[in-house]
Amino acid sequence: MAPLLPAGTRPDLLDGVTYVGLVPFQMDKVGLLATPGLPYFGTFWETNVRLYSVDADDRRAVVFRSLDAARLAPVVAGRLGLSLPYIWSSMQMRRTGDVFTYTCRRRQGHRAVTSAVVAWKGERITEPTTLEHFLTARWGLHVFSYGRTRAISPTNTRPGRCTARNYFPSTTI
């Protein structure tokens, strides 16, 4: 994994193992910097592929290898502002009972790239396991942007409610 991370970072390990995350979710009323969230442009579906990293100052973060988003404005802002690997994609989530199906189809490029993640709702997590905490309690980002590695830690994050999900990812590349 180390060659896939920005300079100055290394894989973050839990019991000698590092992880890759495939994470579909909805961004809700995201704003720029400290501005209020935007109802339409700031609310969209996203799927990201992430690695877990740590830097020389022991700041734990994620490194995004890809970010598919259903709104063009955040894609452009993320690519220009931080050199994030955002891709404008057609995305949706369908819910049937406790089963959630997230689908994604990239709009760019000549090759059709699609993915689907099917998950079903589990119990609300009140006491996260060590692994659940390791994978979800990260509010920082390591990114190689404009010639150097940056560690970005947003100041306005708030923990959400965690619910267990069981996943059956199916990806075509």
Domain ranges of the chain: 2-172
- Residue 168, pLDDT > 50, answer no
The fraction of the chain above a pLDDT of 70, given in percent, is 80
Higher pLDDT, 34 or 84: 84
Helix spans in 51-101 (H): 72-82
- pTM for the structure as a whole: 0.82
| pLDDT band at 114; cut points 50, 70, 90 | confident
- Residue 163, pLDDT > 60, answer no
Mean pLDDT of the chain: 83
Q: What is the pLDDT of residue 121?
A: 84
Q: What is the pLDDT of residue 36?
A: 66
Higher pLDDT, 113 or 35: 113
Higher pLDDT, 39 or 90: 90
Q: What is the pLDDT of residue 31?
A: 63
pLDDT tens per residue, range 116-153: 899 888 888 888 899 988 988 888 899 999 999 999 88
Q: Give 82-85's long-range contacts (Cβ < 8 A, gap of 24+).
A: 82/143, 82/145, 82/150, 82/152, 83/143, 83/144, 83/145, 83/146, 84/143, 84/145
CB 23 within 8 A of CB 117: no
